[in-house]
Amino acid sequence: MITGNRRASGPPETFGNRPRRLQRTRRRNAFTPAGAIYVGRPTLWSNPFAGRPHIGHARSVILYRAWLADDLTPRILAAAGFGMDEIRTLARWRRRLLKALPRIAGKNLQCWCPTTSSWCHADVLLALANGATAE
């Protein structure tokens, strides 16, 4: 439980016992709740498509979902402007991320996206880590 601005012992806060996405903030006295995992940059869980030129926020989440589903072939990535070194790095990164997915199962995930946004890579991770499809 969370009381005021301090951590309290007990299970991590979830909504109906289902893991959820929490918003990270730079506000004074803000903290990561107990049991929550930050999934933004520079972590393994971050979205490699976010912040790239000519790729907006929503499109970066669509690409992230397709990348994790192995729907982005090297040819598609090359056409999108990725170099061969980047494509190989993305393939290794994806394998590591999918192998580590059980570590975030059942956990709340925290990122910078507003909780009201329907475009967030943390939602893709929540679905994958907790057995749902990332559609």
**DSSP state letters, 62-91:** HHHHHHHTT---HHHHHHTT--HHHHHHHH
What does the pLDDT look like over 35-91, one tens digit per residue? 888 888 899 999 999 888 788 889 999 999 999 999 999 999 999 889 999 999 999
Share of the chain above pLDDT 90, in %: 47
- pTM score, two decimals? 0.77
Is pLDDT of 4 > 60?
no
Q: Which residue has the tokens 């990725």?
A: 82
Task: Give the domain ranges of the chain.
Answer: 47-130
Share of the chain above pLDDT 70, in %: 81
**Assigned token pair, 43:** 């972590």
Note the helical H segments in the chain.
57-68, 74-79, 84-100, 121-129
